[in-house]
Structure 1
Amino acid sequence: MSWIDIGSIEDIPLRGARVVKTPRGCIAVFRTGLQEAYAVSDTCPHKGGPLSDGIVHDRKVTCPLHNWVFSLETGQAQGADEGAIETFPLKVDGGRILLDGTSVGNKSAA
Structure 2
Amino acid sequence: MWLEITTLNQVPEWGVLKVNVDDLSVILNRQGMNVTCYRNACTHLEYPIDMGKVSRGIITCPFHKYQYKLDTGKCVNAPSHALESYPVKIEGDRVFVDIDE
Whole-Å separation in 1 of the counterparts to 2:59 and 2:35: 12
Q: Which has the higher helix share?
A: 1
- Give the residue type in structure 2 aligned to 1:17: V
Matches within 5 A, 1:61-80: 61-78=59-76, 80=77
Whole-Å separation in 1 of the counterparts to 2:49 and 2:30: 13
Deviations 1:8-44 (A, max 9, x none): 11112222222222356211112222x2211001011
Matches within 5 A, 1:86-101: 86-101=84-99
Q: Contact 2:14/2:57 (CA < 8 Å) preserved in 1? A: no
What TM-score results when the alignment is normalised by the length of structure 2?
A: 0.77
Count of residues paired in the alignment: 100
* Structure 1 residue ranges, 4+ long, deviating more than 4 angstroms after superposition: none
> Gaps spanning 5+ residues in structure 1: where?
106-110
For 1:10, what is the secondary structure of its paired residue? helix
The residue aligned with 1:11 is: 10
Q: 1:20 to 1:85 in 2, by over 3 A?
A: same
- Give the residue type in structure 1 aligned to 2:29: F
The alignment-based identity, stated in percent, is 26
What TM-score results when the alignment is normalised by the length of structure 1?
A: 0.72
Q: CA RMSD in A?
A: 2.2
The residue aligned with 2:78 is: 81
